[in-house]
Structure 1
Amino acid sequence: MTPDQLVASSFDGYPAAARRFAVEHLSLLQRLPLVVCPSFLQQIQNLDTSFPAEKESLRWQCDSLQKLAPERYSALASPLAALSIPPSLQSLDWVHSPASFIPELTAYLWSSGQINQFRLAASALFASVPSREDTTHRLVFVMLGQGAQVESGKVLRKLSKQGVFFSSLKTDTAFQDIRRAIESHASKASAPYANWYVDGSVISDEIANKLPNTTAVSYTGLSKLRERVLERMQVALPSSSGGAEQIHTRLIGTSWRDVGASEITSDPVLQRFYTELFTESSGPQIFSTSFVQWAGRELIRRAQPQTLLLRYTPRQSHREMSEMFASVTPSSFDPQGSFRDAEMGAYYNWIEMNRIAAPGKLTFMAWVENKPFAVIVGAGTPAGTICATPMSITEALQNFG
């Protein structure tokens, strides 16, 4: 089957909202090349459990492509349509199972040497979609370094190049200052899923107490999901000669129902999101630092939060992979290694948030927990500078945020 053969009844098995959306954009879907159409269908299939930002983004993208002049669209789509797709792939049920089809397609594009051509052509197609106007101011806090030994000249070096490094921050009111800043910012953002707190251990009452309109999630709080995903990964290990690829294939077919996400939350959007934090990643199943970094990445990409707090905590020490898969209880923790992981994770979190934030509309602060070291990156911060003046986090944000 090819996209031009799609009709309204092709989507009869879709959820109601997804079916309406697909039929509304049927003329676009019929014109999309086979190498990109399933990606659209996968997003459409998941509309019922998507964040509002994802729904808005998909609609904007589809509406924009649908409005392109025929000549312009044809010029952009032709390189994608020219890619060779074997009949064996075309015969797969990519309409109802796009999530299974996409890895097969990707593998074929790699093996046939067409992946670079695909990437260039797909980038050109999506570059034709105009940016949406965005005046949202976003606030991000990253806490890291709990229990680690750190030195002033060897901490947050990558982020320091982007903003102001504080070497004498007052720590006695730090938790309260962060909570107040989040509370103030979140109170102005009442939209669902606009404000988030992610913790690598357990939710801190000192931080989370009375935070308005904020979704809080922790590594410990999702332990049931994580353990059930690990069990599914373990089943694939002994019998698999394909290694990570076989494990990934097994996890692709894992839904929130399979791991009992309804025991964690009654919200279907969160059920899917929490499940996919473990089924569409490598690392969060075992390491809390990977969980925080990945959760931040996915929230930024999918929910596009206005307020975000990411708290990295010590992860378990490295052991044999089979041992870490088999044991859900860490035998020891590695604060020092966790700090280095978190430093890099925080830097990536800044890069990712900077991509979606409008120019001059992002305040990003990373603080080494219970230490006087922090970095603020914002519209008015002079890059690569050091502030040695003692001040609280509240004062630092007022002066440089």
Structure 2
Amino acid sequence: MVPGDLRVESFAHYPPQARSFSVENLSVLKRMPLILLSVVLRQVIQYDWCFPAEREQLRLEFDLLRRTEAASFEALMAPFFAIQLSPELRRADWINRPQQFSEQLTGYLWSQHEIDSFHKAAQDYHEYLQKALGERTPVTPRWTIVVIGQGSEEVKQPLFRKLAPHGTMFTQLDPADGLKTLVAEVKARTKQHPLRYGHWYIEGSEPHIAAVDAEGLTVMSYNRLVPVAKREFALLNQFTHRAENGGVAGAEAISSYMAGLSPEDVDLRGTADDASLRHFEVNLLTQGAGCQIFSTTFVQWASRECLHRAEPLTLFARFGTRQANAPMEQLLMRDPLQQAQDQEGSLIDADMGAYYAWINQSRLA
């Protein structure tokens, strides 16, 4: 099947909103080269659980492509059409399994020495969208607040060496009630600028009590997701054992299996109203390397993905201490909350994590 053969019934197995979006934009999807279409469908099939900012970006992108005159559209897609795909890839189920198709596609592009051509085509496409759509200015300047040092008694090396050159460092502040003051300011912003998934609190241990039930504030906590991570590891062990007894447990197969896990599979329960958050949390734990094991990695990666996907007005990220390092087989088996904590290493992680958060916010309007 080729993109031009797509029909309304081709998306019968998509979630409701994803199916409606696909049918609404069927004329554009049919004109896309398969190599780009498979990447686009990876996001479209998740449409029901996308954040508002992601949905808006998809709508703007397809509206732009629909308005683009034929000659310009063909020129934009030509670099993708120039990359030839194997018959095996063309026969794959790229409609219902775009994630798996993309993984197979990556291996094929490397084997055919076409990966650079694909990256160049994708970069040019992305730059075209950015230039044509422009930046969406937020209703108020974005705030990212990163709190580090939880559990640390002293500093053995200078902090903020990466951040200091980009701003002002105040060294005579009174830290008394500092956390309470910051949380109060974050809660005030949620009331001044109510926006669904527009204000986030990402915590590396237990959330501050004043923020737990704050209206309009999306709260995530590493400690609360540890049981989910342990369930994920258990499922992964089951999968690899089954594969060892007659299947294939290669990296691509494992990656596809992990990407296909749902919140229900890992016992992450909730309501239809918070489905986007639960799917986001599952994606963090199944696709973010180290997020399950180290709380500092969790906060850093969650902040990155939050800024990239939700584009919040406010992000409050607080690093806690993480478990001490150990051989990988131990890290995968033990409970990270019941281990000795590495305060010094956690502070180094958090210091660099603060710098990463600044970089990622700088990419937004």
Structure 2 length-normalised TM: 0.91
Going from structure 1 to structure 2, the CA distance change for 1:33 and 1:82 (only over 3 Å counts) comes to same
In structure 2, relative to structure 1, the CA distance for the partners of 1:11 and 1:264 (3 Å cut) is closer
How many residues in Structure 1 have an aligned counterpart in Structure 2? 356
Q: Which residue of 1 aligns with 2:163?
A: 159
Q: Deviations over 1:376-400 (max 9, x none)?
A: xxxxxxxxxxxxxxxxxxxxxxxxx
Q: State the distance in 1 between where 2:87 and 2:223 align.
A: 46
The question of whether the paired residues in 1 share the 8 Å contact of 2:147 and 2:317 is answered with yes
In the aligned structure 1, how far is the partner of 2:46 from the partner of 2:230? 25
Q: CA deviation at 1:217?
A: 1.5
Shift in CA distance, 123/317, structure 1 to aligned 2, threshold 3 Å: same
Distance in 2, Cα, partners of 1:266 & 1:80: 38
CA contact (8 A) 2:226 2:292 kept: no
User: What aligned pairs does 1:2-401 form with structure 2 within 5 A after superposition?
Assistant: 2-129=2-129, 130-136=133-139, 137-148=141-152, 150-151=154-155, 154-205=158-209, 207-208=210-211, 211-235=214-238, 247-262=254-269, 267-329=274-336, 330-356=338-364, 358=365
Question: How big is the shift at 1:175?
Answer: 1.7
2:304 touches 2:357 (CA, 8 Å); kept in 1? yes
Which structure has more relative contact order (CA 8 Å, sep 6+)? It is 1
User: Against the structure 1 CA distance between its residues 242 and 17, is the aligned structure 2 distance closer, same or farther, given a 3 Å change threshold?
Assistant: closer
Q: Taking structure 1 as reference, are residues 260 and 4 closer, same or farther at Cα in structure 2, changes over 3 Å only? A: same
Q: 1:212–1:153: structure 2 CA closer, same or farther, 3 Å change rule?
A: same
Further displaced range: 212-221 or 128-137: 128-137
Q: CA deviation at 1:244?
A: 5.5
Give the C-alpha shift of residue 152 in structure 1.
Answer: 8.9
Q: CA deviation at 1:128?
A: 1.7
Give the whole-Å Cα distance in 2 for the aligned partners of 1:264 and 1:69: 43
Secondary structure (helix, strand or coil) at the match of 2:323 reads: coil
Following TM superposition, by how much is the alpha carbon of 1:66 offset from its aligned partner in structure 2, in angstroms?
2.0
Aligned-residue offset at 1:227: 1.1
Give the partner amino acid of 2:166: Q
2:161 counterpart letter in structure 1: R
Deviations 1:331-390 (A, max 9, x none): 21101111111111111111111111x2xxxxxxxxxxxxxxxxxxxxxxxxxxxxxxxx
Cα distance between partner residues in 2 of 1:14 and 1:94: 13
SS of the equivalent of 2:138 reads coil
Change (3 A) 1:221 1:184: same
Q: Are the aligned partners of 2:80 and 2:121 in contact in 1 as well (CA < 8 Å)? A: yes
Offset at residue 265 of structure 1 (A): 8.4
Q: State the one-letter code of the partner of 2:27.
A: S
Offset, 1:233:
3.1
Q: Which moved more, 1:281-290 or 1:127-136?
A: 127-136
Q: 2: CA distance between counterparts of 1:284 and 1:268?
A: 20
Partner of 1:96, secondary structure, is coil
Contact 1:314 1:338 in 2 (8 A): yes
2:9 aligned partner, one-letter code: S
Post-superposition CA distance 1:26-48 (Å, at most 9, x none) = 11111111111012222221111
Give % identity: 34
Can you give the 5+ residue segments of structure 2 that lack an aligned partner in the other structure?
Answer: none
Between Structure 1 and Structure 2, the one with more helix by share is 2
Give the direction of change, closer, same or farther, for the CA distance of 1:139–1:233 in structure 2 (3 Å limit): same
| Residue range with higher mean Cα deviation, 39-48 or 229-238 | 229-238
Supply the RMSD in Å over aligned alpha carbons: 2.1
Query: 1:236, 1:343 → 2: CA distance?
Result: 37
Partners of 2:142 and 2:314 within 8 A in 1: yes
Inter-partner Cα distance in structure 2 for 1:235 and 1:327: 17
List runs of 5+ in structure 1 lacking aligned partners.
359-401
CA contact (8 A) 1:193 1:215 kept: yes
- Aligned to 1:260, the other structure's residue is in SS state coil
